[in-house]
Amino acid sequence: AQSVTQLGSHVSVSEGALVLLRCNYSSSVPPYLFWYVQYPNQGLQLLLKYTTGATLVKGINGFEAEFKKSETSFHLTKPSAHMSDAAEYFCAVSERNTDKLIFGTGTRLQVFP
């Protein structure tokens, strides 16, 4: 069965520092990959997605992620954290021709001034 692992349930960075949120998946074929962000008392908002083509994907709010097939990873990065980036981030995977989106357990990002 497909699974998604997000290493680190909590990540803390200083404002202006690099943000790195890790996501690894298990799949026998290249899946579709997504990162979502959830702010308090809100639903999930799509940050970016990988379906095919270029492996470095740029999303909203300055985030990007790179699909690395050899490492089965899709880590999320942002060069410089902003206070407004504090939220919970979810990695999700879907296998082609299935009807399920499998979510990781989430990583809560804290940004300190």
Partner 1 sequence: ETGVTQTPRHLVMGMTNKKSLKCEQHLGHNAMYWYKQSAKKPLELMFVYSLEERVENNSVPSRFSPECPNSSHLFLHLHTLQPEDSALYLCASSQDLAGGPGGEQFFGPGTRLTVL
**Looking at 20, 46, 60, 83, which residue binds partner 1 (CB under 8 A)?**
46
CB of 43 to partner 1, least distance (A): 4
Binding of residue 97 to partner 1 (CB under 8 A): yes
C-beta of 14 vs 98, nearer to partner 1: 98
C-beta of 73 vs 94, nearer to partner 1: 94
Of 64, 111, 65, 108, nearest to 84 (Cα)?
A: 111
**Looking at 21, 27, 57, 104, which residue binds partner 1 (CB under 8 A)?**
104
Distance CA 72, CA 59 (A): 20
Distance CA 26, CA 70 (A): 11
How does 22-45 read in b/e, with b if 16+ C-beta sit within 10 Å? bbbbebeebbbbbbbbeeeeeebe
Of 105, 74, 93, nearest to 6 (Cα)?
A: 105
Mask for 52-91, x = binds partner 1 (CB under 8 A): x-------------------------------------x-
**Residues at the contact surface with partner 1, assessed by CB under 8 A:** 32, 34, 36, 41-46, 49, 51-52, 90, 94-101, 103-106
